Structure 1
């Protein structure tokens, strides 16, 4: 498709440029490219989509870590409760032992002057 414009602006260079411009915009069928139309028109994920996918993956990993840490926290609380119960039991045992010791000390004391010969 050649275009010829008659006027003071028409030159051979402009006409050649116009023909090249039209030919450059015409899609060529490449014989070496075996991509199907579906592959050619496939939507490439945008940078934002890639970042979003990465964020979701990292978020899922962090949620798993949080869940594991909460489970460990619960186990530590249970261990703490057991330790508190054992400490309370030992404290009560110590108090009882001290009371028993005091009563033994009192029971062993022989009142003066009441001894038999």
Structure 2
């Protein structure tokens, strides 16, 4: 029986087309909207919590990467300072001036002998 009613209703709808009654149009819109579930607040809270966890995780990864980069830079800096001291490049301006003066004195002494 419901199948016959569906066929009649569908035929009327097809035949009437845009000339449907306002009551029928309201019923049809309500029927469609009733089939669409509204988002629950619980789901949106769960999504927000999940997004927050993802942001925290991304920040932690960034912090770990930054710490690794800093450690690497510190190691490179220490190696550079050591090699500069070994090569004698890590002197201050005052130390360089003193060394130049000593070399000039040594040259004069060698020239006198």
Higher relative contact order (CA 8 A, sep 6+): 1
More helix by share: 2
Q: Which has the larger radius of gyration?
A: 1
TM-score (norm 1): 0.44
